[in-house]
């Protein structure tokens, strides 16, 4: 599949393979990591960020594209909507049909609340379904939630909210059990022992997986369970504005049919934002591994009613996005490829970093190799470095790739590349929103009552960089948590009069800050039609 232009570099990589397998590259020191990030990580490029002029985070910086959305006009004027006749009336309204939303809905339903899910695409269309490599949990005898805490806290630059991270790691094993009891097929030895591997920055092998379809396996099981529990799901319908009651508590949402644009009102005693990430914002022009609907909607909805953002300036660029061929540009190549032994190799056949540094460090190392060091491979569509996948077959034995990472193998096979025999070209791709709406241990936003957040839309759990496998864990732990607590709060809530006054208030802030914009938000979907390319 690789044309003539790649052959020279390819030959060098092949010749160095045996030596590179034997090599045990050193991990960077804290000082080296810091310097590398400051010089090469996209989060540190100051001119790609803007200061917010309005709202609770006024003065904070966020990516340019996010600042525009957060300070854009509402899609509706309050006059268009009759709040007195809600089309849906429920206890718990879950916005978003990914892993966090489904887990929340299942638990809220089990707790006896009336719950419904609204999602702008289909139930399950989410980043969850695309998560490949695994889910962390400290359930092995050699491991402990304490080690898990330390790995994640350090990997996130010691910025995580400690009480949230503590909940993540302590509820981890229970989350695996919960999934297992629902029928999720984790990879196990014949005696039931979980097959676990390392991820970037983990000190113990605690990455559980279902081949490299881990997220897909979790999502399809949760979706099946949501349907089995007869939880109402309204698909192809987006929440475009939250509704508050006269006390300022969350009380529902204005919904829009994605095809007919018809507006409806959903009244709810509690609302859970589980809208996921923002890869389709293409910050700094990066490609993304995210699904079609990852457009930061939840941050916009929350921000407009006064919910605070935490670490919204920290994005995760997954080190190994596919860099070639063009048809799969930006698609995720799971970290599990490196967990299984493949190393990152430059055009000269040199291993230039430990393969399991944390994601931000590994991404920065690749960008350095492809920029100032000029050791990248020209892909015809940009630069990339080799991820030497045939190493896996040599280390783990023939058949390891097919058994452990069939999805990755299939993706490249469709492009005419056999990853068992040929290495692949990779470059960082926009992958994860490390920050989000600020929540407390109950999953409720810190300054809007009855508004809960779960999954990628929440901030603070991972600090400023998330480790592999902690996001699938997060959506289960904090999805369930939000569902249970939202159901409990709903029981004690009697709704006041519904209002959309916040739209006008926000509009006035836009005017006072002299922000000139025609943009409306949330964005809902990217536009890739020709005139927009």
Catalytic positions: 318, 338
Binding to other proteins, residues 378-407 (CB under 8 A) = 406-407
With contacts defined by CB under 8 A, name the span among 79-87, 164-172, 432-440, 483-491 that binds other proteins: 164-172
Q: Say whether residue 228 binds other proteins (CB under 8 A).
A: yes
Is 529 a residue that touches other proteins (CB under 8 A)? yes
Q: Which of 183, 176, 174, 177 is nearest to 208 (CA)?
A: 176
Residue of 102, 104, 109 whose CA lies nearest to 125: 102
Interaction of residue 357 with other proteins, rule CB under 8 A: no
What is the Cα–Cα distance from 242 to 499, expressed in whole angstroms? 9
258, 488, 515, 520: residue in contact with other proteins (rule CB under 8 A): 258
Interface with other proteins, residue 420, by CB under 8 A: no
Q: How far is the CB of 127 from other proteins (least distance, A)?
A: 8
Give the residue, chosen from 4, 47, 259, 492, that forms a contact with other proteins under the rule CB under 8 A.
259
Q: Which stretch binds other proteins (CB under 8 A): 180-188, 370-378, 456-464, 469-477?
A: 180-188
Q: Is 418 in the site for other proteins (CB under 8 A)?
A: no
Options 88-96, 366-374, 489-497, 523-531: segment touching other proteins (CB under 8 A): 523-531
- Beta bridge mates, 234: 118
Is 260 one of the binding residues for other proteins (CB under 8 A)?
Answer: no
According to the binding rule CB under 8 A, does residue 173 interact with other proteins?
A: yes
**Which residues, 6 or more positions from 257, have their beta carbon under 8 angstroms from its beta carbon?**
236, 237, 263, 264
Least separation in angstroms between residue 225's CB and other proteins is: 7
Which of residues 25, 61, 68, 144 is near other proteins by CB under 8 A? 144
Q: Residue 139, interface with other proteins (CB under 8 A)?
A: yes
Angle (deg, nearest 10), helices 162-170 and 145-155: 140
Cβ distance to other proteins smaller for residue 142 or 514: 142
Residue-wise burial string across 92-102, b where 16 or more C-beta atoms lie within 10 A, e elsewhere:
bbbbbbbbbbb
Residue 278, token pair as written in the block: 């923002």
Contacting other proteins within 288-327 (CB under 8 A)? 289, 291-292, 326-327
CA distance 385 to 330: 14
The residue within the footprint of other proteins, chosen from 41, 75, 198, 267 (CB under 8 A), is 198
Among 164, 208, 131, smallest CA distance to 460 is for: 164
Given 25, 78, 86, 154, the residue binding other proteins (CB under 8 A): 154
Q: Note whether 23 binds other proteins by CB under 8 A.
A: no
Choices 59-67, 174-182, 455-463, 505-513; region in contact with other proteins by CB under 8 A? 174-182
Pairing of strands 135-136, 115-118: unpaired
Structure tokens at 52: 């917010």
Residue 188 found at the interface with other proteins (CB under 8 A): yes
Q: Which of 473, 476, 441 minimizes the C-alpha distance to 460?
A: 441
Closest to 496 measured CA to CA, from 242, 248, 271: 248
| CA 135 – CA 213 distance, rounded (Å) | 11
Least distance in Å: CB of 63 to other proteins?
21
Angle of helix 501-512 relative to helix 297-304, nearest 10 degrees, comes to 90
Count residues near other proteins (CB under 8 A). Answer: 84
Closest CA to 434 of 196, 52, 206, 165: 165
| Token pair 């979907």: residue | 525
Does residue 145 touch other proteins according to CB under 8 A? yes
């Amino acid at each position: 599949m690789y044309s003539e232009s790649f052959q020279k570099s390819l030959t060098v990589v092949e010749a160095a393979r045996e030596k590179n397998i034997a090599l045990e590259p050193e991990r960077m020191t804290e000082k080296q990591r810091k310097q590398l990030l400051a010089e090469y990580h996209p989060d540190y490029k100051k001119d790609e960020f803007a200061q917010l002029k309005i709202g609770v985070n006024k003065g904070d910086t966020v990516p340019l594209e996010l600042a525009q959305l957060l300070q854009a006009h509402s899609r509706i004027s309050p006059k268009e909507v009759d709040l007195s006749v809600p089309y849906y009336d429920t206890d718990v309204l879950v916005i978003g049909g990914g892993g966090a939303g489904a887990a929340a809905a299942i638990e809220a339903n089990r707790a006896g609340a009336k719950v419904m899910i609204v999602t702008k695409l289909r139930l399950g269309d989410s980043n969850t379904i695309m998560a490949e490599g695994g889910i962390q949990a400290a359930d092995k005898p050699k491991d402990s939630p304490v080690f898990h805490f330390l790995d994640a806290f350090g990997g996130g630059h010691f910025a995580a909210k400690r009480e949230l991270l503590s909940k993540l790691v302590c509820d981890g094993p229970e989350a695996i059990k919960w999934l297992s009891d629902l029928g999720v097929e984790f990879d196990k030895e014949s005696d039931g022992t979980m097959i676990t591997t390392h991820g970037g920055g983990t000190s113990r092998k605690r990455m559980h997986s279902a081949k490299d379809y881990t997220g897909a396996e979790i999502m399809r099981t949760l979706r099946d369970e949501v349907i089995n529990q007869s939880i109402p799901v309204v698909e192809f319908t987006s929440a475009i504005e939250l509704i508050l009651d006269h006390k300022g508590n969350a009380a529902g949402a204005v919904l829009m049919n994605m095809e007919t644009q018809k507006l409806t009102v959903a009244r709810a005693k509690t609302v859970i934002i589980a809208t996921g990430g923002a890869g389709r914002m293409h910050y700094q022009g990066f490609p993304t591994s995210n699904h079609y609907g990852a457009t930061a909607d939840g941050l916009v909805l929350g921000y407009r009613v006064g919910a605070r953002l935490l670490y919204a300036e920290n994005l995760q660029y997954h080190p190994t996005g596919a860099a070639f061929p063009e048809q799969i540009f930006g698609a995720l190549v799971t970290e599990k490829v490196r967990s299984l032994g493949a190393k990152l190799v430059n055009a000269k056949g040199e291993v230039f970093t430990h393969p399991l540094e944390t994601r931000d460090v590994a991404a920065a190392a690749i960008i350095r190799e492809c920029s100032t060091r000029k050791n990248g491979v020209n892909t015809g569509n940009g630069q990339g470095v080799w991820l030497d996948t045939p190493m896996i077959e040599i280390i783990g034995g023939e058949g390891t790739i097919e058994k452990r990472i069939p999805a990755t193998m299939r993706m490249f096979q469709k492009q005419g590349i056999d990853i068992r025999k040929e290495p692949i070209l990779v470059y960082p791709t926009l992958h994860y929103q490390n920050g989000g709406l600020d929540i407390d241990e109950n999953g409720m936003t810190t300054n809007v009552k009855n508004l809960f957040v779960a999954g990628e839309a929440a901030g603070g759990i991972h600090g400023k960089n998330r480790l592999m496998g902690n996001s699938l864990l997060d959506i289960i732990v904090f999805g369930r948590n939000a569902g249970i607590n939202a159901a409990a709060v709903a029981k004690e809530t009697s709704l006041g009069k519904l209002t959309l006054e916040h739209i006008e208030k926000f509009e006035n802030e836009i005017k006072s800050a002299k922000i000139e914009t025609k943009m409306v938000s949330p964005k809902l979907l990217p536009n890739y039609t020709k005139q927009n390319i």
